[in-house]
Structure 1
Amino acid sequence: MINYTLKALATSAIVLASVSVAQADVTLRGASMFDEDHSFTQTLREFERLVAEKYDGDVSFDLRLNGELGVESDYVTYLNQGVAVDYTILAPSNMAVFSESIPLMDMPFLFRDLEHWDAVLSSDAFAPLEADLREAAGIVIVGYHGGGVRNLASAEPITSMEELAGHRMRVMGAPIQAQTFDAVGAAPSAIAYNEVYNAIQTGVIAGFENEAASIQNLKFYEVAPHISLTQHTITVRPIVMSAATFDALPADLQDAIVMAGAEAGAFGRALESGADGEILQEMEAAGQIVIHDFEGREQMLELVQPIQDDYAESLGATELLMNVRGM
């Protein structure tokens, strides 16, 4: 009886030790398409720092940079399957393959200005979209980065609605993106992000739309030096985790991640929104880009609103859209 009890205690001790080691040996794998200087990477580094600060156990991070693990569409697949990537920052439109409603938070002309944008992201306005993404894609939103103002970048100047007509441009894969630019007269095409540079260089498309940091970081100015200030989108870039990874973590580490995500998101939004104009000025001063005012933005807004209304109605998200507009 004593030997049996001792064996049982020894077995229990081994099990407990194994659990303790497992909990102490958590390594989370991250991915960024950019280098250490990009605001995405800086925000993920802040997220890592805050998680480690808030969690009493041991946690380490393996963040791969410069597209080593692919592009955002690859990250979405990895997160969904619970392999290779545990955390990253994504454009909502790249998650549309699993959740058709998620691009609503990133559709063009949704936000009036930076104050409106920050008020929405500091609230729980997108909670229904977060719940849908978790259920449909197995991806958890833990914070919100963003703040880059997206403009048109093109091989030739685009300064008016007339010059925009028929403009062959790359858009992200979510249908709402193509519908929006089709409504304003352009000829949008969903092309993989890593093919944009060559597609412009070879004349397959004549331009695309993006924020300043990415244009600078990936040297898109070499093939699309003309920046048209359409200011059609203030970006929303969720900090996300694989639900499979998140749900398997200890509860106190989950709590640390949620708190760190909110704080890192606020850090990233301040970083990117403050730097956007400075980056444009840097590239202009270096002779890398030519900045053009765009005439007709108010007309664009009028043409786009019915597209937004129809899209939200198709998702049963009319109330959500009205709440965002009314903030």
Structure 2
Amino acid sequence: MSTPFTRRHLLVTTTASVLVLGLAACSQDAIDGEAAEGETFTLVAGHQLAADTPFDEGLDHFAELVEEYTDGQVTVEVHPNAELGTETEMFQAMQSGTMDVAIVAPGSIAEFVPETSILSMPFLVTTREQRDAIIEGPIAEELAGSMEETAGIFPMTYFGGGIRQMFFTEPAQSLQDVEGRLFRVQPSEVLTDSFAAVGLEPTVVAYNELYNGLQTGVVDGAENESVFIDSQKFYEPAPNILVTNHEVTIRPLVVARASLDRLPEDVQEQVLQAATEAGEFERDLEAETDDEILQQLGEMEGVTLEEADVSGAIDDVRPVWEEYAAQWGAEDMLQQIIDLREDA
């Protein structure tokens, strides 16, 4: 019997054959920057969230714009719900040439380009205005250069804009209330150290096991954006939401440089323009959706929503930011991000 990984590998291999037929057989005209008449290309794209989420709608919009701007010369195949693997597996598939485009969180990219984690440090990027200044300025440009040089992959644009909150099985009105509680984190040293610094007891639990872990007491709490607190029904075992606004999500939409370079130069520009517009569309959609769902959660019977004072947490976690920035040689970048804060 094939394992889940094997089945996923087979799907990647199948979609890769489309890529090979669509891209690897390019004519000399395409290599020289001009497409042969009637020549078409297929880009394989994926993400790990469910269909009909803002990520999925954003990637679908990218596919529609690419087809429109290239007059059907380029088609984007969108695979949601981790059909092509985890974010790490998709990133590796892009490096090996078996897929082309993916939405990948900074924490997943960090395995290949560690300094990318600076975009998702808790309590560091806390407003959408600060996020915009990062992704539209020299910080994003520097990270993109590092990513392309190290991994051969770079961001075309950025999705995200949901704001992460904490939620607990027992009542919580402040960060002081939750000190010592077992708190689910992703497998990341940065996240573990950051949440430990504010008094929580971080423990790694697989995302697909989190609901059961909250039910059975394996963990007392976790953190996520409101859209996923709602869609995964985490509010059922953990109805006490502490509004900490500790991270505005920044999710790069990345492309393999080798995949882009196979396209004629004019078509590359059209694809990149489509990505820019899709990023703006998705960020607006995600922000609107996130705000609406957080309000809806607060109106649900049995769910509590408490605003938290996080000023002390910022002081507690700052040494963690500084420690990791020093490891990555990103001290200047960290200071630039801090300088963009409203409370700097």
Taking structure 1 as the reference length, the TM-score comes to 0.85
Task: Note the alpha carbon deviations across 1:116-174, whole angstroms, 9 max, x for none.
Answer: 22222222322222122223333221001111110112222332233222221222333
Amino-acid identity (%): 34
Q: Which of 187, 197, 209 matches 1:195?
A: 209
Contact 1:155 1:224 in 2 (8 A): yes
Q: Is 2:244 aligned against 1:230?
A: yes
Contact 2:63 2:77 in 1 (8 A): no
Measured at CA, do residues 290 and 135 of structure 1 come closer, stay the same or move farther in structure 2, by a change above 3 Å? same
Measured at CA, do residues 236 and 242 of structure 1 come closer, stay the same or move farther in structure 2, by a change above 3 Å? same
Q: Is 2:77 aligned against 1:79?
A: no
Q: Is 2:116 aligned against 1:102?
A: yes
**Where does residue 331 of structure 2 map in the other structure?**
318
Moved over 4 A (4+): 15-23
Please state whether the residue corresponding to 1:238 is helix, strand or coil: strand
Q: Which of 61, 85, 106 matches 1:46?
A: 61
**Where does residue 274 of structure 1 map in the other structure?**
288
Measured at CA, do residues 324 and 22 of structure 1 come closer, stay the same or move farther in structure 2, by a change above 3 Å? farther
One-letter identity of the residue aligned with 1:137: A
Task: Note the alpha carbon deviations across 1:225-256, whole angstroms, 9 max, x for none.
Answer: 22111111111111112333223333223222
**Where does residue 61 of structure 1 map in the other structure?**
76
**Where does residue 143 of structure 1 map in the other structure?**
157
Please state whether the residue corresponding to 1:161 is helix, strand or coil: coil
Q: Which of 127, 130, 143 matches 1:113?
A: 127
Contact 1:168 1:205 in 2 (8 A): yes
What CA distance in whole angstroms lies between the structure 1 residues aligned with 2:30 and 2:105? 38
Q: If you compute each CA radius of gyration, which structure gives the higher value, 1 or 2? A: 1
Measured at CA, do residues 260 and 179 of structure 1 come closer, stay the same or move farther in structure 2, by a change above 3 Å? same
One-letter identity of the residue aligned with 1:69: L
Q: Is 2:321 aligned against 1:308?
A: yes
- Please say which of residues 200-209 and 18-27 is displaced more in the overlay: 18-27
Please state whether the residue corresponding to 2:166 is helix, strand or coil: strand
What CA distance in whole angstroms lies between the structure 2 residues aligned with 1:142 and 1:196? 32
Please state whether the residue corresponding to 2:150 is helix, strand or coil: helix
**Where does residue 168 of structure 2 map in the other structure?**
154
One-letter identity of the residue aligned with 1:234: V
Q: Which sections of structure 1, spanning at least 5 residues, go unmatched?
A: 1-14
One-letter identity of the residue aligned with 1:301: I
Measured at CA, do residues 124 and 268 of structure 1 come closer, stay the same or move farther in structure 2, by a change above 3 Å? farther
Contact 2:184 2:219 in 1 (8 A): yes
Deviation at 1:18, TM superposition (A): 10
What CA distance in whole angstroms lies between the structure 2 residues aligned with 1:325 and 1:315? 16
Please state whether the residue corresponding to 2:137 is helix, strand or coil: coil
**Where does residue 167 of structure 1 map in the other structure?**
181
Deviation at 1:103, TM superposition (A): 0.7
Q: Which sections of structure 2, spanning at least 5 residues, go unmatched?
A: 1-26
- Please say which of residues 121-130 and 141-150 is displaced more in the overlay: 121-130
**Where does residue 216 of structure 1 map in the other structure?**
230
What CA distance in whole angstroms lies between the structure 1 residues aligned with 2:284 and 2:239? 26
Contact 1:157 1:228 in 2 (8 A): no
One-letter identity of the residue aligned with 2:74: V
Contact 2:121 2:190 in 1 (8 A): yes
Please state whether the residue corresponding to 1:252 is helix, strand or coil: helix
One-letter identity of the residue aligned with 2:93: Y
Please state whether the residue corresponding to 1:125 is helix, strand or coil: helix
Deviation at 1:22, TM superposition (A): 10
